[in-house]
Structure 1
Amino acid sequence: MKPLSNFVIHRSKLALFGFIALVLFSLIGGLQAFGNLKGGGYNDPGSQSQKVTNILQSDFNQTDPEVVLVVDMGRSVEDPQSATNAELITQKLLATKGVKTVSSYYSTGKPKELKSKDGMAIYMFAKLEDNAKQAEVAQVIADEIGGNHFGATIYVAGWAPITSEINHVIEQDLVRAESVALPLTLLLMIFVFGSVVAAGLPLMIAGLTILGSFFFVWLSSLFTDTSTFSVNLITGMGLGLGVDYALLMVNRFREERHKKDSTVAQAVETTMLTAGRTVFFSGLTVGLVMLALNFFPQYFLKSFAFAGLVSVGLAVAAALIALPALLNLVGDNVNRWPLFKHRPAKETGGWSRLAKFVMKRPVSVLLITLIGLGSLTALGMNVKLGQVDDRILPKDNRVVLATNQIRERFDGREGSPVEIIVNKGSLDVEQLAINLSKDSAIASVQTPAAVYKDGGLLEQLPAQYLENDNYTRIKAVPYVEPRSPEGEALTNRIRSMYPDIMVGGSAAIYTDALAGITNNLPWAALWIILTTVVLLFLFTGSLLLPIKAVVLNFMSLFATMGFLVWVFMNGNLHWLIGDFASTGTIDSSSLVLVAVISFGLSMDYELFLLSRIKEQHDLGLDTTDSVAIGLQKSGRIITTAALVLAASFFAFASSGVSIMKMLGLGIAFAVLLDATVIRALLVPALMRLFGKANWYAPKWMKWVQRKVGLEH
């Protein structure tokens, strides 16, 4: 840290303006990032269901339709006028740029599955060009064809319209979130620093972090699929961490300037060696925790790993290069335009009294807080995992209304069939279909020769496209919601009964995605535990404190998961975060995302607190006094930092997309829980009980820590 400190002190203008110039230059690419981002990314690309998708494309030239339309004729679909109107709609669709093929009830031989139960509506499917901007094409279809046209009412659903609507809502949410978070952050900074200039510095660092991050996301989008939701993470983490790290640095600089005989350069140097070291270890810890998302196969999660890593890296770089250089240049002008007098942190006060209160009765405090955290954790014991579908959008969104038509008016989910691939000649296909059609979760089963329902023949078919020299394709239309526990159960039943066949389609895609998460979760958790323990040991030189930190973080995490299940699975707090659809499940990918991000961000406050406690212990104070003074000097900063980070993410809780609500509310809750209950109550209680053991480590480990712990 010393060489970097010398550089920013002696080359302040180069460090500051060079950093700003690089960020501004990066905007050339960064502003193009939005056009390259994609929806989806929840599937496992190496799964059996993906193999089925590949076979359907390569051997049958078949893909799931990107757009599914429900056409309400307003009369019987057997009326000749209905067929005429359907042909007009088909021609209008085919004339839309980006649409490749269109099929419907009429063009496929009038199969019963494509007709509504009341006989008044039909399915129509549109497949889009592979190289088309499918979300944009879906937007055009919804705008120009959806609604009342050609004597019919047309509802537009499917994954392309869902993606289009999500992108549109997120763009609106981003503007709204920033308009809420930025003014609130500025007010908090003014309250903490009492000076407009000092309050503005953290926002400047956050701005540089966010703008620079967009450039790297743009680069990523050129080489790999990148989720559109990563923009929200960049905004939340960029603002939150940028402000947090700058808050820590500016506060320490001002504290050093209040000391006698301390020059500006000396204050910057001390700030770098103390708060700067904390920022470095904090950023490294958060970044490595974010990398745990790379253990999962879904690019939705991998995108967040990259976006989080970039945001953290730039926040650290801005706080350790641009900010100290600026502090060295402005010196005491950082206190200009004061709104009220700033008082440096003392060694006694409300936070130290709280710490001493806790440490006088550590067992009682420990038991009470554990009961509270356990109660929250218990709320999550009945969690049912699902996957995102149209219902992540507002209930009155046109795609949701369209998909509800499918749910309510048709026997099965014809647009989301279970796709079964059988090696040619390996099984009696017709008997297999008969057996499958007996399943209560299946509406009908189609083979190349016939359609079966409830174990009997429903319809004899002419030669179909469901067979080639290598494979036979079977389509089973489910009654159940494909991306749900019921869809998972159906997939697993089929696979267990017939292990030699391959099962794909929406239900299998969801099943494999969930398996991809659960199978890789232990490896991600192991990575998080090992990296966190190693880094905290290098930071503190203690063997026990890193283990304590990891255990407390997991306790906070489990409590947060329970809270999210109570809100989003059980449908609570609508009055606070607005309306959303409670489906009885909670999205598995989003839950993992909240868990990993919350764990990483919570380590921020552990490091903020431990740095001050260790500083006092290194001066010769015992554990009780070290904890009391450490909490006193860091309590206000930790609370403010948590409020800023919580505000940055809670702004997304007003989103019209429910997984963004979950991300915003979940991280905000986790951060506030950690900064209050965990750091202010459990940490002092446990450190009091551990006593001298807090600082124990074998001699050889102490030697390693001195060599690589960046003490200087």
Structure 2
Amino acid sequence: MGAWSARHRKTAVFGWLLFVVLATFLGGAHGSTKVTDAESMPGQVARAAKILDEAGIKSPAGETVLVQSAVLTADDPAFRQVVEQTATAVAATGKAADLRSPYETGAVSADRHSALLQFTVAGADREQAVAAVTSVVDAVAKVQAQHRELTVEEFGEASAGKWFQDQFTDDFARAEWTAVPLALGILLIAFGAVVAAVLPVVLAVTAFIAAGGLVALSSGLLHTSDDAGSVMLLVGLAVGVDYCLFYLRREREERAAGRDAATALRVAAATSGRAVLVSGVTVVVAMAGMFLTGIADFQAMSYATIVVVVTAVLGSLTVLPALLSLLGDRVEKGRLPLLHQLRRAGTDRAGGRAWNALLTPVLNRPLTATLLAGGLLLALAAPLLTLHTANLTFQQQVPRGNPLVATSQRIEAAFPGSPAPATVVVKARDIASPEMTTALADLRAKALASGRMHGPIDLQLHREANIAVLDIPLAGSGNDATSAAALTTLRDDVVATTVLKVPGTEAPVTGSTAGSYDFNRRMSDAMIPVFGFVVAFAFLLMLMSFRSLGIALTAVVLNLLSVGAAYGVLSLVFQHGVGASLFGTAGVGAVESWVPLFLFVILFGLSMDYHVFVVSRIKEAHDRGLSTRAAVSYGIRSTAGVVTSAAVIMVGVFAVFGTLSMQSMKQMGVGLAVAVLLDATVIRAVLLPASMTLLGERNWYLPRWLHWLPRLEHGEPAAEPAPDRPAVLV
């Protein structure tokens, strides 16, 4: 691929540009088809959404206005006047439907100091409701401004959705405008020249743009999501820049060693190009494991990541060698004198003083280094034993001090369970039959009698569809053990012994608590198959790539250590709050349900970037006759600069996501940044060389019964280094 691209430079470059333009245009013309509620959640939640969708019943976005006074009660005329004024203001917007006064529904707190005005926001779907809710929020704010002695605040699905929509847009734009300049700045330091630094960023950005078009174009077959777009940017920028960095640095290294331009490109294609291909395939295989969850959001994230990684690999192996062939030594244009001199000085130090200072004792005392580094990673992984996952509530997702969070907490304190009730969707043969009418009444009575649910219980009948929808507030916060126990009672006792006794009836229970419960169960069920799939295929890929049982086993064990340490840090920071202020957050008592599984598959893939790149260089040296210890020393030192630059870029990009507002994005960014940092330092600089030195020649052992494996070695070795002064770029 590299040789063809170098010979057909214009075809490769203009072909890439045409591909990017066509993919973007066609994707934009097609538009994105998003994951539906019925697809996004498992279990009874998915079944309830499907029943409503098939019946054409749109779940309206529910909103509430809290009217509260520390002095007045709901029975005082002044309090009642504010409630009525609020209802009039909301109705006057023309955006509210099914407006219900607390004096009609009984939505008055036990102490009589709080009341809830309930309504739905007009709109055929949630997106329209989110767009329409702004005028209602403004109307409520005007009433609050006129009655500062009372609290008049709005909270609900539409207003929360509006916040998420606006915040997601702002965060995504901030991530783009922060991550790209950050990567460019790191590359400027790494190369000391503007053209060499710009090339990887341009290719990574164009790969991301093209992949976005391809994902949108195919979203009719496999629906996409907003989270998929965030993940695609996160991974696409990181791996796109890294792949180009590996390739470009090897080409520049060969040119610095005196090879002509054509030979340098062939060596880079055969060595770094091969490493990029193996790394890309490993990421793709790892991400494919997420399809085993059966959850559409995960499948969307997995597919988007696979597309952007394949696109980045394609760009690195085709258009990059074409551009390097076209530019030649002009790739060093725009040198920044100070940075360029520092880089050249680093080269002369043969691996850099810091790396030499670290690697020498590691190679001299490999057992001690293994025990110390392994102990550190195991200590970081220890909090994993207390890891608790959940679908984070709105209060947990958004930053502390958010006005909507404060309103939600006030509503929760006055009306436990009201902000997120459980919803029972009853589908019967005849919803209006006497038998079903009695069963619905029994359901309401038994729910209240259980002590784990309370009123007001809202019932909506859809006679033409033979469906009834009941909203039943649960005890607890909506995301704790009390709410989970209430949900279990509702499903297994209340519903099972009332409406489900009527023949031909189904009654799935949905809602935010149910969604979190069902999602966690599906994650638990999927964990072993996904982990097994990813580990097995990563092992097989390493085995085929290096024809070594020891290297394949070492790769898996080291990756598991880095993932375990990342899990431990997540639990310590985001669940228990230790050091959370350093990341601009606070402990929320749980880690987002999808984050651990997502981190596992993506880290297992990304960690192979460094592993394949470093071990490939070690194997090159060993194949030329160096001893294992000398080959390890050469391989680590000769890749030190590339691994450092690549790791800094990845950590920087991931850390940008750790600064975003939403807790799930913050957890994902911090988890990835910590894991990559540990992987590039503790593992690649200490554990990998120490373990390979301990294993010695056993690193290259392949049982006879596996000799049938195909040979995937590169065909163009680099110039043999002098063992005491390996050639390297830092």
Shorter-normalised TM-score: what interval? 0.7 to 0.9
Q: Give the distance between the partners of 2:221 and 2:139, measured in 1 at CA.
A: 34
Q: Please name the residue that 2:264 is paired with.
A: 267
On the 8 A contact 1:421/1:472 being kept in 2, the answer is yes
Matches within 5 A, 1:79-98: 79=77, 81-82=81-82, 84-93=84-93, 95-96=94-95
Q: Determine the C-alpha separation between the residues in 2 that align with 1:243 and 1:42.
A: 37
Q: 1:55 to 1:41 in 2, by over 3 A?
A: closer
Q: Distance in 1 between matches of 2:470 and 2:698?
A: 65
- The match for 1:559 among 565, 570, 592 is 565
1:416 aligns with 2:410: no
The secondary structure found in structure 1 opposite 2:509 is: strand
Instruction: Give the deviation of 1:630 after TM superposition.
Output: 0.4
Q: How does 1:88-237 map onto structure 2 within 5 Å?
A: 88-93=88-93, 95-96=94-95, 101-105=97-101, 110-113=104-107, 117-131=111-125, 133-134=127-128, 136-141=130-135, 143-149=137-143, 154-237=152-235
The separation in 1 between residues aligned to 2:522 and 2:19, in whole angstroms, is 39
* Residue in 1 that maps onto 2:504: none
Where in structure 2 are there 5+ consecutive unaligned residues? 501-507, 717-730
Aligned to 1:129, what secondary structure does the other structure show?
coil
- 2:549 is aligned with 1:543: yes
Aligned residue number for residue 51 of structure 1: 47
TM-score, structure 1 as length reference: 0.87
- Return the match for 1:28 from 25, 38, 53: 25
Assess if the C-alpha contact under 8 Å between 2:90 and 2:140 holds in 1. Answer: no
Query: Does structure 2 retain, via aligned residues, the 8 Å contact 1:289–1:600?
Result: yes
Q: Which amino acid aligns with 1:140?
A: T
- Name the CA shift for 1:603/1:439 in 2 (closer, same or farther; >3 Å): farther
CA deviations 1:448-475 (Å, max 9, x no partner) are 7xxxxxxxxxxxxxxx849999777665
Name the CA distance, whole Å, in 2 between partners of 1:571 and 1:638.
31
Q: Which runs of 5+ in 1 are unaligned?
A: 449-463
- d(CA) in 1 for partners of 2:125 and 2:604? 39
Q: 1:691 to 1:681 in 2, by over 3 A?
A: same
Shift of 1:621: 1.5
CA deviation after TM superposition for structure 1 residue 21, in Å: 2.8
CA contact (8 A) 2:422 2:509 kept: no
Q: What's the CA shift string for 1:180-207, capped at 9, x where partnerless?
A: 3333322321222222221222112222
1:15 matched to 2:20? The reply is no
Q: Distance in 1 between matches of 2:366 and 2:604?
A: 24
1:579: how far off?
Answer: 3.7
Q: How is 1:518-537 mapped onto 2 (pairs within 5 angstroms)?
A: 518-537=524-543
Give the alignment partner of residue 448 of structure 2, picking from 418, 437, 442: 437
| Cα shift at 1:292 | 1.7
Q: Residue 334 of structure 1 is aligned with which of 328, 331, 335?
A: 331
CA contact (8 A) 1:32 1:218 kept: no
Which residue among 384, 387, 392 is the counterpart of 1:388?
A: 392
1:130 maps to a residue whose letter is A
Partner residue in 1 for 2:719: none
Letter in 2 for 1:442: M
Q: Is 121-130 or 298-307 further displaced after alignment?
A: 121-130
Q: Matches of 2:401 and 2:214 in 1, distance apart?
A: 36
- Encode CA deviations 1:536-567: one digit per residue, 9 max, x unaligned: 11211112211221121111111111101111
How far apart are residue 117 of structure 1 and its match? 4.5
User: Does the residue aligned with 2:708 lie in a helix, a strand or coil?
Assistant: helix
1:384-415, Cα deviation, whole Å (9 max, x unpaired) = 22113322122333432332232122243265
Q: Give the aligned CA root-mean-square deviation in angstroms.
A: 3.2
1:240 aligns with 2:241: no
Task: Tell me which moved more, 39-48 or 544-553.
Answer: 39-48
The 1:312/1:421 distance shift into structure 2, 3 A limit, reads same
Residues 443 and 479 of structure 1 are in contact (CA less than 8 Å); yes or no, is this contact kept in structure 2? yes
Cα distance in structure 1, aligned partners of 2:534 and 2:136: 44
In 1, Cα distance between the equivalents of 2:120 and 2:221?
29
Q: Deviations over 1:624-669 (max 9, x none)?
A: 1111100011122111101101101101222111111111111111
Q: Which residue of 1 aligns with 2:513?
A: 507
Counterparts in 2 of 1:87 and 1:596: CA distance versus 1, 3 Å: same
**Matches for 1:316-465 after TM superposition, within 5 Å:** 316-338=313-335, 339=337, 340-341=340-341, 342-343=343-344, 344=347, 350=353, 351=355, 354-391=358-395, 392-413=397-418, 415-419=420-424, 421=426, 435-444=446-455, 446=457, 465=461
CA contact (8 A) 1:355 1:627 kept: no
The residue identity in structure 2 corresponding to 1:513 is F
SS in 2 for 1:620: coil
The structural deviation recorded for 1:505 is 2.8
Note the C-alpha offset of 1:532.
0.6
Label 1:170 to 1:467 Cα distance change in 2 as closer, same or farther (>3 A): closer
Work out whether residues 63 and 154 of structure 2, in 8 Å CA contact, stay in contact via their aligned partners in 1.
yes
1: CA distance between counterparts of 2:680 and 2:440?
Answer: 60
1:247-304, CA deviations, whole angstroms, 9 ceiling, x for partnerless residues?
11111101111233x3211211111111000001111111211122222233332221
CA contact (8 A) 1:288 1:528 kept: yes
Matching residue within 294, 297, 301 for 2:294? 297
For 1:399 and 1:551, how far apart are their aligned partners in 2? 45
| % same residue | 27
Confirm or deny: 8 A CA contact 2:108 2:114 kept in the other structure. Answer: no
Q: Cα distance, 1:615 vs. partner?
A: 0.8
Q: 596, 604, 624: which one pairs with 1:599?
A: 604
Shift of the 488–479 alpha-carbon distance from structure 1 to 2, 3 Å rule, reads closer
Q: Distance in 1 between matches of 2:91 and 2:445?
A: 37
Q: Give the letter aligned to residue 575 of structure 2.
A: M
